[in-house]
Amino acid sequence: MSAFLGGCLLGLAMLGTAPSHARTFTVDIEFGTIDTEGDAYWEGSLTSALVIETAGDALSFEQVVGVSGTFDGLAVTGLLGADTYQGNDNLVQNQADGYTTGNGLSFQLENGSWVNLYDLTSTSAHAIYDSADLSQTFYATADSLDSEVGGRVSVAVNSISSVPEPATLALMLAGGAWVGVARRRSRPTP
């Protein structure tokens, strides 16, 4: 009887663990203007093609777990931890009026430079980044609705795919094994 109750409790626990969801944001940006700390503006040819991966359903802000792609022709080599560069929080959501927070998403490039992409919406984006030798900081802006700023922003959000967490899979396997053992023990011996 205790095996049966244990199996029931384990089954209820399994029902309470929902699988996480993975979402991918594909972001293409052509920045319109770039300025330096000295406010020297020029037309930019800086482009960014990123794939941002999360582990949530994007109903609210969710943590980014990976980023890949290119920025200014350089490969992205990894995500920087939260609060590492420019107060980044590495949060995104699925909203046309704002994909990132004002704190932004930060990542490292193959030449060692760090980039913070912030205030990303369906029509505009901002980035702050340092030159490879860290001697100069650049600010890049794209706004497809503002002809003075210029640029182009495209954000595609892929559909949610269920990805059971490893702990959920382990719990399900343990529950199945527990039920199997309980059934085997409850059989009358001939």
pLDDT of res. 158: 77
8 Å CB contact between 28 and 58: no
Q: Where are the alpha helices (DSSP H) in 17-65?
A: none
5, 12, 29: which is closest to 156 by C-alpha? 29
> Residue 97 has what pLDDT?
73
* First vs last C-alpha separation in the chain: 20
Chunk the chain into consecutive blocks of 10 residues (it has 190) and report each block's average pLDDT, rounded to whole numbers: 50 47 82 73 71 74 90 92 92 82 92 92 89 78 87 79 54 64 66
Give the model's pLDDT for residue 67. Answer: 93
Q: What is the dihedral of CA 172, 173, 174, 177, to 10 degrees?
A: 120
Please state, as a whole number, how many other Cβ atoms lie within 10 Å of the Cβ of residue 156.
10
H helices of 30-186, in order, are 166-186
181: Cα within 13 Å, side-chain hemisphere: 11
Q: In the structure encoding, which two tokens stand for residue 11, read together?
A: 């089954």
pTM over 0.75: no
Q: For residues 149 and 125, what is the distance between their CA atoms, to the nearest angstrom?
A: 11
What pLDDT is stored for residue 34 in this prediction? Answer: 82
